[in-house]
Amino acid sequence: MTVAHELAARDLTLAYEGRVVVDGLDLQLPPGRVTAIVGPNACGKSTLLRGLSRLLAPASGTVLLDGTDIHTLPTKQVATRLGLLPQTPTAPDGITVADLVSRGRYPHQGWFRRWTADDDAAVAEAMTATGVTELGERAIDELSGGQRQRVWIAMALAQQTDILLLDEPTTFLDISHQIDVLDLLLDLNAARGTTVVMVLHDLNLAARYADHLVAMRSGEIVAAGDPSTVVTAGLVREVFGIESVIADDPVTGTPLVVPLGRHHTAG
């Protein structure tokens, strides 16, 4: 079980070349839980993740890791506590799957800490969990989009951080592999107490898999809390601009959003 490190944002404003994307946002991520961030395209979800991982410096406000401004902490210290799978990761040309996953162990290396059997075990465990072991010797650029996504997730898992941020981890995956990845993240949370924060497009999967749901629109948080209280027809209308009916998921009992359109309305 990992230590439940805390990640939060206070009055956080994030911008690109002066254009504000996230505006004055306050966020407290429940440590040791699974959080899903949802919202329409271009609402600031990915930008928020970049700010939380300190890839993007705030225009104003603060990101706090265990109560300390994350931008004042040594890079290596942050990298051993917090891992990020970005939306569009890139890899060096010709790198193999095994080599890329191994890079997840780099934050654990140092002048007096070389590669060990524990590193080998962490890499092997991550590759097994994501089903990419048999791809180990293949080059990343030879793989399909879905295979590449699973390799990137394996690298993030190999890092073995206490907090894991994932920007659309189910991108490029068919429904079977989407469920596999989300089940894997829940297993990781249950076994190690890893704080998982993920951006998801599928509101129903977010409601099913997350303990805590954050709904965003136009760079602001509209609602946050347990999915059973956050996901309402009014919330779906306000955030996504569509009418819907909310039912109980027949498997989990979590909210199930049934969207309505011009050709399908509630009876």
- pLDDT (tens digit, 0 to 9) for every residue of the chain, 267 residues total? 445 789 999 999 999 998 999 999 999 999 999 999 999 999 999 999 999 999 999 999 999 999 999 999 998 889 889 999 988 888 888 999 999 999 988 776 555 567 788 889 999 999 998 889 999 999 999 998 888 888 998 999 998 889 999 999 988 888 988 998 899 899 989 988 999 999 999 999 999 999 999 999 999 999 999 999 999 999 999 999 999 999 999 999 999 999 998 888 776
- Residue 70 CA to residue 65 CA, distance in Å, equals 5
Number of Cβ within a 10 Å radius of residue 76 = 13
- Residue 81 CA to residue 111 CA, distance in Å, equals 19
- Residue 213 CA to residue 164 CA, distance in Å, equals 16
The model's pTM is 0.89
Q: Which positions ≥6 away from 58 have C-beta within 8 Å?
A: 12, 13, 14, 51, 71
